[in-house]
């Protein structure tokens, strides 16, 4: 299957040789070719350039031509932090929060992560897969081309492995790039209440070896937070993951700054995620680091907690990504376009910074920047086509109603524009 997109008003995120990530001031540069074309072949980006330099395709057989006059084309979203596999929604907790309870208070009553774990325990692997697949299809239709997914609602060896196997099956079923993270340290399992050290030992001695044995996860994760896992416990998990060949992506600084970020940067974490509460030492540790700071604006919106100080991080030379955090408790949405809008509206990021954070840096936060996140020959043909608009900033400006009119995933038209 071959596709030619012609007459593109602006082709954004173009690189002959894409950087592996963008940091600080680089994030405000979104290379663009005006009046451009893009050719796709066998699911890959084959050629792009200005319509003025158009050499012409000589073989028009099996070629679908899309006229993108007046529209922008950009790389598809790379959503580097989700909990897409879960058993059920938690809208009653949403009501509780409206009535005044906090996320922490709901968790203390057995709601939150433990509520999701109880629901998931009684669900078969097949049922869990059936529930997750439409969520993933919806995300792809909204423009996500690669995604990270976590376990963390299992909290027992059996149920953590069940979640990770579902993630593997979602990858096989859809063919999209999915990276998986083992998040056994999401909460202390209910049957280990009062025995936290025993639960941590279970993670270290049984879960991580079992996950590695089946090659079910790319990364280890932990919820480093008061009432969940301490900095020391988190670093034990990071070290054990490393012994088994898994790098780390860690939930940190959501409600409290415990001081883990400098240690995680030193330990070579791929990303540190959430960061709603930041101290000067955290910002300094991320200055020039390869560890990506991942902001989750949909979670800030949904829980009414602070937004990550992205402006400050970028101005201090950090590499920043944006992801959805799609999960039933704190961000029940896979809408990356909305996350990008919020990055501009609430986090003072420029449209170029927000788009880079959601594409190339999102790919980097999954170690997928060689194949995803930019318009580069040979990369996977995951692209978005906007509605007709005068400036690309119309995309984040048009919040709530996505201005994405067309979606191409692995060279297949998932959503067609109306020409």
Ligand X SMILES: N=CN[C@@H](CCC(=O)O)C(=O)O
Interface with Zn ion (CB under 5 A), residue total: 1
| Least spacing, CB of residue 342 vs ligand X, in Å | 15
* Secondary structure (3-state) at 105: helix
φ, ψ of residue 46 in degrees (nearest 5): -100, -35
| Least spacing, CB of residue 337 vs ligand X, in Å | 20
48/86 with CB nearer ligand X: 86
**If contact means CB under 5 to 8 A according to the sort of partner, which of Zn ion, ligand X, none does residue 396 touch?**
none
- Annotated binding residue 124: no
**If contact means CB under 5 to 8 A according to the sort of partner, which of ligand X, Zn ion, none does residue 223 touch?**
ligand X
**If contact means CB under 5 to 8 A according to the sort of partner, which of ligand X, Zn ion, none does residue 329 touch?**
ligand X
* Cα four-point dihedral sign 108, 182, 268, 335: negative
154/411 with CB nearer ligand X: 154
- Annotated binding residue 251: yes
Hey, what are 229's tokens?
A: 């896992």
Half-sphere exposure of 29 (CA within 13 A, CB side): 11
| Least spacing, CB of residue 223 vs ligand X, in Å | 5
107/403 with CB nearer Zn ion: 107
Where do we find the tokens 């994405």?
404
| Least spacing, CB of residue 372 vs ligand X, in Å | 22
- Annotated binding residue 254: yes
| Least spacing, CB of residue 35 vs ligand X, in Å | 42
291/327 with CB nearer ligand X: 327
308 to 347: interface string for Zn ion, x by CB under 5 A: -----------------x----------------------
Hey, what are 127's tokens?
A: 């049922």
Question: Count of CB atoms within 10 A of residue 390's CB?
Answer: 9
Buried b (16+ CB within 10 A) or exposed e, 264-291: bbebebbbbbbbbbbeeebbebbeebeb
φ, ψ of residue 202 in degrees (nearest 5): -60, -45
| Least spacing, CB of residue 12 vs Zn ion, in Å | 28
- Please, which residues bridge with residue 144 across strands? 77
Where do we find the tokens 């376990």?
151
List, in order, residues 6 or more apart from 103 with CB less than 8 Å away. Answer: 97, 112, 255, 303, 305, 329, 330
**If contact means CB under 5 to 8 A according to the sort of partner, which of Zn ion, ligand X, none does residue 351 touch?**
none
- Annotated binding residue 112: no
82/359 with CB nearer ligand X: 82
In terms of Cβ atoms closer than 10 Å to its own Cβ (0-12, 13-18, 19+), residue 135 is middle
310/330 with CB nearer ligand X: 330
CB 118 within 8 A of CB 328: no
Hey, what are 396's tokens?
A: 């984040």
CB 329 within 8 A of CB 112: yes
Under the rule (CB under 6 A), what is the footprint of ligand X?
Answer: 83, 112-113, 116, 223, 251, 254, 299, 325, 327-330
- Annotated binding residue 391: no
| Least spacing, CB of residue 251 vs ligand X, in Å | 5
Binding positions? 81, 83, 90, 153, 186, 251, 254, 325, 327, 329-330
Question: What are the residues binding Zn ion (CB under 5 A)?
Answer: 325
Binding positions for Fe(3+)? 81, 83, 251, 325
Binding positions for 4-imidazolone-5-propanoate? 90, 153, 186, 254, 330
């Amino acid at each position: 299957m071959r596709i030619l997109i012609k007459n593109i008003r602006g082709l954004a995120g173009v690189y002959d040789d894409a950087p592996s990530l963008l940091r600080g001031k680089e994030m405000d540069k979104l290379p663009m070719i005006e009046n451009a074309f893009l050719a796709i072949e066998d699911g890959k980006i084959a050629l792009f350039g200005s319509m003025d330099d158009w050499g012409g395709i000589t073989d028009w057989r099996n070629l679908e031509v899309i006229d993108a006059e007046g529209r922008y084309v950009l790389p598809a979203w790379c959503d580097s932090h989700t909990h897409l596999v879960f058993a059920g929604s938690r809208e009653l907790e949403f009501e509780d929060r409206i009535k005044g309870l906090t996320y922490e208070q709901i968790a203390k009553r057995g709601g939150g992560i433990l509520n999701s774990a109880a629901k998931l325990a009684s669900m078969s692997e097949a049922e869990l897969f059936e529930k997750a697949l439409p969520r993933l299809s919806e995300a792809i239709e909204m423009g996500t081309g690669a995604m990270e997914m976590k376990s963390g609602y299992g909290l027992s060896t059996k149920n953590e492995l069940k979640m990770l196997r579902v993630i593997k099956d979602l990858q096989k079923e859809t063919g999209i790039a999915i990276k998986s993270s083992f998040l056994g340290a999401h909460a202390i399992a209910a049957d280990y209440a009062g025995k936290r050290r025993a639960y941590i030992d279970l993670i270290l001695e049984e879960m991580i070896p079992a996950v590695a044995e089946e090659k079910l996860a790319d990364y280890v994760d932990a919820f480093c937070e008061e009432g969940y896992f301490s900095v020391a416990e988190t670093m034990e998990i990071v070290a054990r993951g490393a012994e088994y060949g898994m790098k780390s992506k860690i939930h940190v600084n959501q409600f409290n700054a415990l001081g883990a970020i400098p240690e995680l940067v030193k330990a070579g974490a791929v990303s540190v995620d959430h960061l709603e509460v930041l101290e000067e030492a955290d910002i300094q540790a991320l200055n020039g680091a390869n560890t990506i700071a991942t902001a989750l604006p949909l979670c800030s919106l949904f829980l009414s907690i602070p937004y990550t100080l992205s402006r400050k991080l970028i101005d201090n030379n950090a590499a920043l990504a944006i992801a959805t955090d799609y999960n039933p408790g704190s961000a029940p949405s896979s809408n990356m376009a909305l996350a990008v809008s919020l990055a501009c509206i609430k986090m003072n990021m420029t449209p170029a910074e927000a788009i880079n954070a959601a594409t190339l840096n999102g790919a980097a936060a999954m170690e997928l920047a060689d194949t995803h996140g930019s318009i580069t020959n040979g990369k996977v043909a995951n692209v978005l086509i906007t509605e007709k608009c005068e400036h690309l900033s119309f995309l984040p400006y048009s919040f709530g109603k996505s201005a994405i009119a067309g979606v191409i995933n692995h060279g297949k038209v998932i959503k067609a524009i109306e020409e």
